[in-house]
Amino acid sequence: MRLVSLAHDLKAIWQAKGGDRPVGHRHFTLAVMCLCVAMVLIGSPARAENPQSRCARIGQKWVDFWNVHDVATAFNVFTEEIVYEDVPTSQVVRGAEAFQVFAQGFFDAFPTSSFELGQSACQGQQGFFEWTWSGVDEPGFFGTGKPFTVRGVAVIAIQGNRISRNSDFWDFATVLTQLGKL
């Protein structure tokens, strides 16, 4: 309804500027169509980005948690009922206490490791984000002292703005090759 009113106002303004010349229907239609397309394009990023920006924020909180190496901040990112699965190592932890033990073990094993966030996508209460993990195997898996980098993906379930389930998928063979173990 607002758009129709805007179109009528536009036509009145156009006719006033044009003096006594009648406004051609084709020109008027083209002007209204351009206005509508501009309005859609201006409004679409906010609507399209909203769910994905939420997903990117959650992904960035995940990356920040693993980069800060502080288990006290875990529940800014994860729910206390977290189910966390590291698929390549077959580790599954459930609940706040088990997750904090798992995370502290990771921080102790890879004190210089870091993550970077890649692409992310969420719909409703599910999503994923890509990440890149870089670290040094000290003490790590074998204590080789060699650096490694591997890409992975976290498949997540979301409650509110926190992760309630996380399944990490990454190629352990890539890490083993970089460490000279495969």
Q: Where are the domains of the chain?
A: 2-44, 49-178
For 3-26, write each residue's pLDDT tens digit: 445 445 545 554 555 555 555 656
The model's pLDDT over 88-109, given as tens digits with 9 standing for 90+, comes to 999 999 999 999 999 999 999 9
Q: How confident is the model at residue 142 (pLDDT cuts 50, 70, 90)?
A: very high
Which letter does DSSP use for residue 112 in this model?
T
pLDDT at 48 over 70: no
**Tokens 């679409």 belong to which residue?**
44
pLDDT(50) > 50: yes
Provide mean pLDDT across the span 102-129. 96
Q: Write down the pLDDT at residue 25.
A: 57
Share of the chain above pLDDT 70, in %: 71
Q: What is the pLDDT of residue 101?
A: 98
Q: Is the pLDDT of residue 177 over 70?
A: yes
- Residue given tokens 């970077």 in the structure block: 116
Q: Is 108 exposed, middle or buried (0-12, 13-18, 19+ CB in 10 A)?
A: exposed
Q: Residue 52: in which H helix or E strand, if any?
A: helix 25-68
Whether the per-residue pLDDT at 36 is higher than 90: the answer is no
Number of H helices and number of E strands within the chain?
Answer: 5, 6
At the top level of CATH, the class of 49-178 is alpha beta
